[in-house]
Structure 1
């Protein structure tokens, strides 16, 4: 198994800007491994889906890191409640 540790420097206002970007600053984070994939999901109560083509700095950084490891980023409405989930999927080497 090859292990990668990624460390990303954030600007001093990144957390404050992220808090102001959503009405509810609480998010649920989930990590799932199965069916040959590692899936990382971040869900919040904000129903507006992000425009992945014109993402803000944080989501753009996530997309860049995902691309570096042949991953993909998507966003979809949550099931059963208002909100959205941003998913990052990676293929697990066999």
Structure 2
């Protein structure tokens, strides 16, 4: 990896370190969600959700699709969803040997 690649990867992990952004990503794992659904289900303000979605889109972690007057967001691709799912399983593993 180049130094630039490492910097981009580090920034991506920094973005994932925010609990609100991580909650949004996990909520979008099953499929496309409207901004309104994200706001309502995660009990966040629309302004806050829009801010976090802008950052997640910029990092190519989510993609949005306009349908009429609404935009629906989903996890960008299988690399992102697989990583989130794998890490969720990782934290739930039995750590009896530790």
TM-score for both structures, normalised by structure 2: 0.30
Give 1 or 2 for the bigger CA radius of gyration: 2
Greater RCO, 1 or 2 (C-alpha within 8 Å, sep 6+): 1
Q: Which has the higher helix share?
A: 2
TM-score for both structures, normalised by structure 1: 0.31
